[in-house]
Amino acid sequence: MSRTDQVVDGIKSMLLDGRLSPGDRLPIEKDLAIDLGVSRGSLREGLRALATLGIVDSRQGDGTYITSLDPGLLLAPLSFVVDLQGDDDASSFHGVRRVLETEAAGLAALRMDATMLARARGALDEAARLLAADEIDHDLLLETDIAFHRVIATSSGNPVLGALIETLASRTVRARLWRGLTQEGVEHRTHSEHETILAALVAGDPERARLRMANHLLEVEDFVSTHPDLPAP
């Protein structure tokens, strides 16, 4: 085991056994190095690795702290791995997105409060305004699409599920935008599908929400499978 791994494993153990908790300030460098059995140089390398993973946050002049350990923060590095995958895997990523967002919609139907429903409604109202324009702003329209799906993921009440969906977002945006640019009427159809999803959410019907989300996302998934050579963003 390298010294860096020793530091990472040591901090992990301290978190697991309760010696450290989210928001805690780490002991001073000299004491922590002794506790972990490494040099101060190795300790710094290990803490840099932990910072990359979202475990610690070094504050100039104030020390190093354990982060919130929020799932979204800890899963963020996964987006780097996702982005490095080749276009041959695009359909697979969309398939995973469909599975995750379908479940998120079902959970959200049971848990969405008036505030979150209003946010979803606002995203669709903005989309309707953009679609009514003489010239559609496709980038802004995509932003309303992302906002709508994000509200649902957040409302699932499962922060890990929401974080995984967010991580996959970068791999699906290009296909969603290109589909809107190349398929006539698809943006209006997408808006109609969003409206049916929202109706199921408002009704608090999880099965209908799952079904409508799955059907909606299959449209994009089918597009990706038949367009393997999507242009670069």
Domain count, the chain: 2
The CATH number of whichever domain residue 28 belongs to comes to 1.10.10.10
Round to whole Å and give the CA distance between 26 and 21: 10
pLDDT in tens, 130-162: 999 999 898 899 899 999 999 999 999 999 999
Q: Mean of the pLDDT values across residues 112-123?
A: 98
Residue 18 three-state SS: coil
- Asked whether residue 232 is domain-assigned, the answer is no
Judgement on whether residues 207 and 168 belong to the same structural domain of the protein: yes
49 and 85 in a single domain? The answer is no
The rounded radius of gyration (Å) of the Cα atoms in the chain is 22
> CB within 8 A of 41, min separation 6: which ones?
none
Residues 56, 77, single domain; the answer is: no
pTM for this one?
0.76
SS (H, E, C) 53-103: CCCEEEECCCEEEECCCCHHHHHHHHHHHHHHCCHHHHHHHHHHHHHHHHH
pLDDT value at residue 232: 41
Over 60: is that where the pLDDT of 178 sits? Answer: no
The answer to whether residue 24 is domain-embedded is yes
Average pLDDT over residues 159-187: 73
Q: What is the pLDDT of residue 97?
A: 87
- Assign 3-class secondary structure to 29-57: HHHHHHHHCCCHHHHHHHHHHHHHCCCEE
Rounded to whole angstroms, the Cα distance separating 6 from 35 reads: 11
- Per-chain mean pLDDT for the chain: 88
Residues 87-91: what's their mean pLDDT? 64
d(CA 188, CA 128): 9
Q: Looking at residue 231, what is its pLDDT?
A: 44
Is position 100 within any domain? yes
Kindly state whether residues 22 and 95 are assigned to the same domain: no
Same-domain check for residues 82 and 182: yes
Asked if 94 and 192 sit in the same domain, the reply is yes
Minimum mean pLDDT range among 119-123, 134-138, 222-226? 222-226
Tell me the average pLDDT across 166-191: 71
Angle between helices 159-182 and 138-155 (to 10 degrees): 160
Same-domain pairing of 147 and 89: yes
Domain that holds residue 20: 3-66
Q: What mean pLDDT do residues 24-33 have?
A: 94
Residues 149 and 210 in one domain: yes
Residue 150 within a domain: yes
Count of C-beta atoms within a 10 Å radius of residue 219: 14
- What CATH code is carried by the domain that includes residue 195? 1.20.120.530
